[in-house]
Chains A and B, each alone.
Chain A
Amino acid sequence: MSAARTGNSSVLSHALKDALIAAIVAFGLFMLLLGFLTDDSRGPLRLLTRPVLLATTIGIVFVGRFLISLIYYNATTLRYYLGALWTAICSLAREFKIALVVLLLLIGGGWVFFSPKDWPLILITVATILIGVRFGFSAALLVFAALFPVAFYNNPYFLGIAIIILTYVMLGWGLNIVVGLAGLLDLGYVAFYAVGAYSYAIIAQAYGWSFWVCLPLAGLFAAFFGILLGFPVLRLRGDYLAIVTLAFGEIVRIVLLNWVSLTNGPNGIGSIPRASFFGIPFNATETGFAAKFGLEFDPTHRTVFLFYVILALALITNWVTIRLRKLPVGRAWEALREDEIAVRSLGINPTNTKLTAFAIGAMFGGFAGAFFATRQGFISPDSFTFPESALILAIVVLGGMGSQIGVAIAATVMTASFELFREFEQFRLVIFGFAMVGIMIWRPRGLVSTREPTAYLKERKTISVEHVTEGRG
């Protein structure tokens, strides 16, 4: 460490020198290419100069090269200083915990004093940080999610995006059971999402049953389809399994397209009954939610309600998965991912074990599908194409197979960035591709690639990535 410290000034000057050389080379290269422009659009040929563009380019090269040589070639030094800084912050936070809380409250209070309109945002920020310091990252995320509608009540656009994000978090967690825990590569997960959505739409329309009755039915239907698919295909392994599940996804979509009498074909099913507040509809009538609770009618009520429904569904998925991992069936899934032959030698029925993984994963996909149908009010086979399956799988892979928190972060980043880059429609997939390549280089096993043991004798030790098998189907 002391070597790293003494090398500090030379590291900095070395990086500066390196960046300067790169800037000079860039100047030589770009002077003629970017610095001058011949233009004949208006009258005779003229020579234009573009000093700003040239300077910007060289500036980018300089800064970029400086950062690269600082970070890349001197990673140890940098890591040492960052580490020291982080340790200092942590120990400060630990030493002055009460002071920190007071400081936060003071800042929050001052903020409220100067701009009282922002109080929900301030509340959520302060609460999240406090919970995060005390109980850790996951708890902070949970509090943030729970308070989100309070802070962004006046921003239906944000609420809408949050609902979409949570839907994908739930789908990611559902698929995580199949891919992350049991190690079965499923490329047709969207089929179960579709089965859930369509069974909800058809049952709700035909029988007029409420959302809370149809939701479990949709999940059961999807689970049934999971078993139906599982029986013939689970004897396949790896690539073969992936291809068959891919085909199953397409078959379901094509059946939905062509079975016009049941699904209304490509026109889709419209006017699906909206979710009600346990029987009380969200509308402006006398018997509506607003009137019953003495509120002024506001369409956001429904959005907030939907937000909490999907949050609850996602959290149930998470809770069940965490519980299942610690039960024999969950351990058998992970064992199956690690080594199927050893699993069989211990008297565990591999087919049943895989089927339960498929069925439970499919069931959560079905729940998400039912929610999707009631939120949209309209579904068509277009919503259940292969890229959707690929997106959900990408969420699981990016998040780190088997990691709940990693999948949640990946789903948030992917879905939110798709929304943020909506203006750059054409470049979205390019950015997506770059992000994937970046992950492959720096985090080939996903954001969170460690594994938490499900039982321990003395102490719980996180298992590092090199021991964990990815599973070959």
Chain B
Amino acid sequence: MSSFNRRDFIRVTGLGAATAATGLPSLVSKANAANPKNVVIIGGGFAGATTAKYLVEWASAEGLSIKVTLIDRNATYASPILSNLVLVGKLPETSLNFTYAALTGVSFVQAEVSDIDTVLKQVTAGGNTYAYDRLIVAPGIDFLDTNGLGAPIIGLREAIDSRTIIPAWKGGTDVTALKQQLTGIPSGTGVFILSIPKAPYRCPPGPYERACVVADWLNQNRPGAKVIVLDANADITAEKHTFSTAFSAMGVTYIPNAHLSSVSYANNQWTVIASTGNYVANVLNVLPRQRAGLLLDKIPGILNASLFADVHALTYESTQIPGVHVIGDAQATPQPKAGHVGNGEGKVCADAILKMIRTNSQDTAQYIANVGESRIPAVVTNSACYSPIKASTAATASYLTVGFRADQSNGWVPTKISASLGEAPSPTGDNWKDMFDWAENLFYDTFNVTRNVG
């Protein structure tokens, strides 16, 4: 055995595949370098951008040759996180815009995806075709016209299309447009109605946070104007103690189990007909019921009956379509729909994809069989966020955090770790400062950009 070594032996006899079947990673390094794996990511938000960044970083550390392509219809991502501070004039809109330029090693393509072919394994965008070995789709959320009872909300679609109702739930210019609407609220008699959709929706504490900072803004700028919250849910869905206390202190009217049936504008005001009564407002901020980004309609069968994508929590691979992974708000695990945890899901997905490549596994079941289920460590993620409560003077914020664990014993379903659930005992100025530390670190972790916002 002088020049004929084990690697040659494996290549000649085809034992590489056999070793993969017995659970040992196959010797892929030499073959892999000549055939880099293509990983295509559609959607450059907190989940998609983080996955791209960590795939490049970790593949490089492992000596695995991959090509990472990130496709987004926009060249700039507008962060919804902290956008309620833009809404009430505490931050400039542009301070929350991020490009992908600092994601070294990621090939970024600005284009609208026109087709996803899961048989040929290719994505068509901007007239070009991108072949993939593994596809990650992170399209975020889109809006429905129906209420929590499944009935259509008459007038909603037209109002959103004509931009007279602006959800402003995706950051960016919509937030500035909603801010402009706030200036039209009169003092004394003004009313701002916030309609919260039935869960699941993006950012559980977000709507309540918006109600608080708007109430505070009105108190400062339009004294006497009021906030009414029409919540389709039976109760406050996150930080109940924090928000119910704040609502009381700020005079916010909170109506649970409120399902909208129609919205209409006449005589300079909105009329809302809901299951709990009729309401009028100067500004109507409807957060519509949500579904996975419309992009996923290009993959028939990938969405469940609730219009989100079921995935294996070990790899975030679709349970319906092998080879396609869905992360972030669009996937259907019990984790909240939020940027911080979407970033964490991206890391799990990146790590799993590298392991699938290394073990020559075509899908999650094969990966589990190749490695041995009992040898796979638990998947642990965490959700955390800070919410501004009062943004004007003596600013305060609250926080919310909880961890999730998916392992063999719970069938790989991310399950809340109750002991890790934490809510700020009360909104504080310290939390307000920490909120900016959190957001700045999250921005850097996702986009490799240091942005000083607070």
User: Do A and B bind?
Assistant: no
